[in-house]
Chains A and B, each alone.
Chain A
């Protein structure tokens, strides 16, 4: 019989601060912070619009430290990852990273994230929320070492058309040759691991460093970024960019399977339109049998892009098959007026068969006009959900204007 130590009294601690907090606090003009995975993070520094345009027209710096990070190693690491993830981990070359999903037994999405292969033997998994419990369950029977390294690694996302040029100016030699989903080791006075990845659908990088170097890197980037339009951004502006890119967010576009209390609330990768990240031919992975059965049955609903009429974002709108609003066929999960596309866009979960591209739907939009509510039944069309994907996102060498 072994006596277990008491669990850490994390509930006594206030929100943690990331290594960048001192600078973020100083830059914040509106004092809008929000908790994320136990850390205080910035919602808005100045205004959402100003920060959004930094993402799309210059360079935006976003504190990624609260991303949950796990170091995965050991003799069975690849087998473990192949059984955990819906796509093939064994195909990932050293120095590469990949967007990946993991499901529960029922084929419902637990979370999505990125898998880094740092070298021959070491992997790192990054996710928006804590995953240790599920990773530990998935590790039963595998000779694998999993360490939570969230607090040991500070991270910044540098995104936007001038991001490459900022990094070059900061001294990252050859950064323009880094391909999408590739990672490399660089130096800007402090050692960095840089991956060409991000959550904005644009040219961009993510920078991973030791917490002790965090402020030095931050200052260096701001110093060289001033002339390149660099601006620190909060999660509100990032959210606009990610909707334009068609990326899904947990608890907004899907409920992680481990959080869903009600039956039929969790969603599968097939329903979320992520089937290209599911490899049924790689051997068994958790949820495979359930997903095969679902594919066999045919999808019941699907997360799609919507092109909504007018310019009022269709927040939380219910969707109908006809203007009279009798047959409800889905609901909007994310909505925004896209300043870059000049379109009123949304992501929506829509029932079969109304989720096919080109389907005409009606969005029931509620508008609060100085405390008087108005209802606008607005025409919407199902479209590809990648609204914004500039060519510079993929081009290598990267644009360093």
Chain B
């Protein structure tokens, strides 16, 4: 049966109501397309969601900080008008240390290193600023010969050239380095090194000594450049507020969002995407289908290899997308008391990464399927700045935990309790008495993240963000960008450039790409 003939076909059908799907829907609806968003879950939000995990306690279950959503995108979609309010902006970062008082990372400077720190920050920021447009814009296609692609190449080259000889030379020197070596040559303070190195490896399958980690650090910084004014931010009501605002923007522009509608497959008719079939057999016709699901789910499951070329399928199948970060959620009956932490800094990013060696050691265990005995954590206590998340006087702790292997030796069902115990023990060392205040705990290991957020492999970038899966090579070589070989089919998720982390650019760029092609 041909779906294209039916008269009720929507112009654009977006699979997944995560932030990228909703951004894409909003941009398309604002351009006058009829848009339907289908979400498999009962609520919208994808991995940018707030949900209850213990009675009365709510938490950002996936991403827990907003740090790279471009200001331009927020203005374009008027997210503030649609209800996105910050509970905290320009969040500071604090390194928790066991035998020393906590360290205010952004302000830290001491003696001879003050100058080094200032010079390092300034240079890294200059480079990040030059890279920001590369992050923000769609990668050019290789060999297309199209004017747009040639201009895009020239533009990127010019941006980098304008860095000037010294910075460009420095970028070429450090660009392929590991962050361990870079920080080792820049700073003496192991505490500062550890805190800075964490940003390079957070959410990745890397340790500080892994190749390409200066690149991942610059990447994160470039994203932050795009969001500069607000800095790192905690939205009021948790990360779910981001998607609520995006959904409001989309529906205000005329898009419809349907939850509880899992897509079983994308219908390909005469080599063109013509709609989707839901798990219950219902068919919905569409002129174009845009998927925000990860590339493996979209291409191998929803489209299916028989509609794709074998070489392409092999590349997709080979995508590295196993998550190595877990999420810990704690419900606390009182405010955690971190040793030596000024009360005002409870709302900052709290890092347990006391040295690069510590982080590397934690990573080492993950290579052999073990949960780190001494894990690395990025902790937030969002209830310190947002009272809507927990009952009066009580608190919520949310932490990204590195490194939690997808395939834990012995399995997660047996290993979970031990892992939580280890994390509580670690927290107890920094905040004595915390363990006794816990009234609810949840640990989302990568397989849980895979299940809850429907991300194959449970990686928050959908596919590892690394040199070989970046820009032109993302999601796979020969298929960069959003438009697939099958006419009418687009990708708009974190598997596309520039990746995950609640940026929203993949969604926006996919929508723009579609509009440019007149679909």
Interface residues of A (CB under 8 A from B): 1, 79, 82-84, 104-105, 134, 137-138, 140-142, 283-284, 286-289
Q: Which residues of A contact B254 (CB under 8 A)?
A: none
The answer to whether residues A141 and B300 also contact, given A79-B306, A105-B478, A284-B271 and a CB cut-off of 8 A, is yes
Contact of B317 among A79, A82, A140, A283 (CB under 8 A): A140
28 examples of A-B residue contacts, CB within 8 angstroms: A1-B369, A1-B407, A79-B306, A83-B305, A83-B310, A104-B309, A104-B310, A104-B311, A105-B310, A105-B311, A134-B310, A137-B310, A137-B314, A138-B310, A140-B300, A140-B305, A140-B310, A140-B313, A140-B314, A140-B317, A141-B300, A141-B305, A284-B271, A284-B307, A286-B311, A287-B309, A288-B309, A289-B485
Q: Which residues of A contact B312 (CB under 8 A)?
A: 105
Q: Which residues of B contact A79 (CB under 8 A)?
A: 306
Q: How far is the CA of A283 from the CA of B305 in the complex (A)?
A: 13
Q: Which residues of A contact B306 (CB under 8 A)?
A: 79, 82-83, 141-142, 283-284
List 9 additional A-B contacts (Cβ < 8 Å) besides A137-B311, A137-B313, A141-B306: A83-B305, A104-B310, A104-B311, A105-B478, A137-B310, A138-B310, A140-B314, A284-B268, A286-B309
Q: How far is the CA of A217 from the CA of B304 in the complex (A)?
A: 46
Q: Which residue of A lies closest to B271 (CB)?
A: A284
Q: Which residues of B contact A134 (CB under 8 A)?
A: 310
Task: Tell me whether B308 is interfacial, beta carbon within 8 Å.
Answer: yes
Q: Which residue of B lies closest to A83 (CB)?
A: B306
Name the distance in Å between B309's Cβ and chain A's nearest Cβ.
4
Q: Which residues of A contact B309 (CB under 8 A)?
A: 104-105, 286-289
The answer to whether residues A1 and B310 also contact, given A83-B305, A140-B305, A141-B300 and a CB cut-off of 8 A, is no
Q: Which residues of B contact A286 (CB under 8 A)?
A: 309-311
- Please list the 3 inter-chain residue pairs (A to B) with the smallest Cβ-Cβ separation, ordered nearest first: A141-B305, A105-B309, A138-B310
Q: How far is the CA of A1 from the CA of B314 in the complex (A)?
A: 21
Interface centre among B305, B309, B314, B478 (most CB of A within 10 A): B309
The answer to whether residues A141 and B307 also contact, given A1-B407, A105-B478, A289-B271 and a CB cut-off of 8 A, is no
**A141-B313 in contact (CB<8A):** yes
The answer to whether residues A84 and B308 also contact, given A1-B407, A105-B478, A284-B271 and a CB cut-off of 8 A, is no
Q: How far is the CA of A258 from the CA of B407 in the complex (A)?
A: 34
Q: Which residues of B contact A141 (CB under 8 A)?
A: 300, 304-306, 313
Task: Tell me whether B368 is interfacial, beta carbon within 8 Å.
Answer: yes
Q: Which residue of A lies closest to B300 (CB)?
A: A141
Q: How far is the CA of A287 from the CA of B308 in the complex (A)?
A: 9
Name the distance in Å between B163's Cβ and chain A's nearest Cβ.
32
Q: Which of B405-421 contact A (CB under 8 A)?
A: 407
Name the distance in Å between A284's Cβ and chain B's nearest Cβ.
5
Contact digits for B275-310, partner A, Cβ 8 Å, 1 yes 0 no: 000000000000000000000000010001111111
Q: Which residues of A contact B300 (CB under 8 A)?
A: 140-141
Q: Which residue of B lies closest to A135 (CB)?
A: B310
**B311-A1 in contact (CB<8A):** no
Q: How far is the CA of A288 from the CA of B485 in the complex (A)?
A: 11
Name the distance in Å between B268's Cβ and chain A's nearest Cβ.
8
Q: Which residue of B lies closest to A141 (CB)?
A: B305
Q: Which residues of A contact B307 (CB under 8 A)?
A: 284
Q: How far is the CA of A284 from the CA of B310 in the complex (A)?
A: 11
Q: Which residue of B lies closest to A104 (CB)?
A: B311
Q: How far is the CA of A83 from the CA of B305 in the complex (A)?
A: 9
Q: Which residues of B contact A84 (CB under 8 A)?
A: 310
Q: Which residues of A contact B317 (CB under 8 A)?
A: 140
Q: How far is the CA of A141 from the CA of B271 in the complex (A)?
A: 18
Q: How far is the CA of A288 from the CA of B313 in the complex (A)?
A: 14
Q: Which residues of A contact B313 (CB under 8 A)?
A: 137, 140-141
Q: Which residue of A lies closest to B485 (CB)?
A: A289
Q: Which residues of A contact B407 (CB under 8 A)?
A: 1
Q: Which residues of A contact B308 (CB under 8 A)?
A: 284
Name the distance in Å between B497's Cβ and chain A's nearest Cβ.
21
Contact digits for B260-280, partner A, Cβ 8 Å, 1 yes 0 no: 000000001001000000000
Q: Which residues of A contact B369 (CB under 8 A)?
A: 1
Interface centre among B268, B300, B310, B313 (most CB of A within 10 A): B310
Name the distance in Å between A100's Cβ and chain B's nearest Cβ.
15
Interface centre among B271, B311, B368, B407 (most CB of A within 10 A): B311
Q: Which residues of A contact B271 (CB under 8 A)?
A: 284, 288-289
Q: Which residues of B contact A287 (CB under 8 A)?
A: 309
Q: Which residue of B lies closest to A289 (CB)?
A: B485
Q: Which residue of B lies closest to A133 (CB)?
A: B314
Q: Which residues of A contact B311 (CB under 8 A)?
A: 104-105, 137, 286
Q: How far is the CA of A142 from the CA of B313 in the complex (A)?
A: 12
Q: Which residue of A lies closest to B317 (CB)?
A: A140
Q: How far is the CA of A286 from the CA of B306 in the complex (A)?
A: 9
Q: Which residues of A contact B368 (CB under 8 A)?
A: 1
Name the distance in Å between A4's Cβ and chain B's nearest Cβ.
15
Q: How far is the CA of A361 from the CA of B446 in the complex (A)?
A: 66
Name the distance in Å between A2's Cβ and chain B's nearest Cβ.
10
Q: Which residue of A lies closest to B486 (CB)?
A: A289
Q: How far is the CA of A286 from the CA of B313 in the complex (A)?
A: 10
Q: Which residues of A contact B310 (CB under 8 A)?
A: 83-84, 104-105, 134, 137-138, 140, 286
Q: How far is the CA of A134 from the CA of B313 in the complex (A)?
A: 12
Q: How far is the CA of A105 from the CA of B307 in the complex (A)?
A: 12
Q: How far is the CA of A82 from the CA of B305 in the complex (A)?
A: 12
Q: Which residue of B lies closest to A80 (CB)?
A: B306
Q: How far is the CA of A137 from the CA of B310 in the complex (A)?
A: 6
Contact of B305 among A1, A104, A142 (CB under 8 A): A142
Q: Which of B481-495 contact A (CB under 8 A)?
A: 485
Interface centre among A137, A138, A142 (most CB of B within 10 A): A137
Q: How far is the CA of A137 from the CA of B309 in the complex (A)?
A: 10
Q: Which residues of B contact A283 (CB under 8 A)?
A: 306
Q: How far is the CA of A104 from the CA of B306 in the complex (A)?
A: 14
Q: Which residue of B lies closest to A138 (CB)?
A: B310
Name the distance in Å between A213's Cβ and chain B's nearest Cβ.
36
Q: How far is the CA of A155 from the CA of B204 in the complex (A)?
A: 53
Q: Which residue of A lies closest to B299 (CB)?
A: A141
Q: Which residue of A lies closest to B479 (CB)?
A: A105
Q: How far is the CA of A158 from the CA of B306 in the complex (A)?
A: 38
Q: How far is the CA of A41 from the CA of B310 in the complex (A)?
A: 33
Q: Which residue of A lies closest to B369 (CB)?
A: A1
Q: Which residue of A lies closest to B311 (CB)?
A: A105
Q: Which residues of B contact A104 (CB under 8 A)?
A: 309-311
Q: How far is the CA of A284 from the CA of B313 in the complex (A)?
A: 13
Q: How far is the CA of A298 from the CA of B88 in the complex (A)?
A: 61
